[in-house]
């Protein structure tokens, strides 16, 4: 399993697929599948049965997972690749385009 360079809370831009160009915040990172769930991106309609949580049932619109290779971290307004380097004895993430530390 590869080290994932994106975290929950990062703002990303979709770079390929049906939702190309959309931006949003990462809600969840699925490490086993190398996928992320991004707010407002890759919306799907899910049919649900009535339950105690949702007594009406019906069709619910929710975000589906998108592969991590299809998104790029936004550093300001520009998408940038992410690197890792040791600084003060700790591994820090940085934007390769601007060389700015992210964490």
What would the two tokens of residue 36 be? 């992320």
Identify the band that residue 10 occupies on the pLDDT scale cut at 50, 70 and 90.
very high
- pLDDT at residue 71 in the model: 95
Identify the band that residue 8 occupies on the pLDDT scale cut at 50, 70 and 90.
very high
- Where along the chain do its domains lie? 11-101
Instruction: Write down the residue that tokens 């949003």 correspond to.
Output: 24
> Per-residue pLDDT tens for 21-79?
999 999 999 999 999 999 999 999 999 999 998 899 999 999 999 999 999 999 988 99
Q: Could you tell me the sign of the dihedral formed by the alpha carbons of 28, 17, 22, 72, in that order? A: positive
Q: Cα–Cα distance between 35 and 1 in angstroms, integer?
A: 12
Q: Cα–Cα distance between 21 and 1 in angstroms, integer?
A: 28
- pLDDT at residue 67 in the model: 96
| 103: pLDDT strictly greater than 80 | no
Exposure string (b/e) for 39-48, b if CB count within 10 Å is 16 or more? eebbeeeeee
Can you give the pTM of this predicted structure? 0.84
Q: Which CATH number fits domain 11-101: 1.10.510.10, 2.40.40.20, 2.30.30.30, 3.20.20.70?
A: 2.30.30.30
């Amino acid at each position: 399993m590869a080290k994932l360079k994106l975290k929950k809370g990062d703002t990303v831009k979709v770079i390929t697929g049906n939702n190309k160009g959309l931006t949003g915040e990462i809600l969840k990172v699925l490490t086993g599948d190398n996928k992320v769930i991004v707010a407002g991106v890759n919306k799907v309609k899910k049919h649900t049965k009535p339950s105690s949580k949702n007594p009406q049932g019906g069709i619910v619109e929710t975000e589906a997972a998108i592969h991590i290779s299809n998104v790029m971290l936004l550093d300001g307004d520009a998408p940038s690749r992410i690197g890792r380097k040791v600084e003060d004895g700790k591994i820090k993430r940085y934007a390769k385009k601007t060389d700015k530390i992210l964490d």
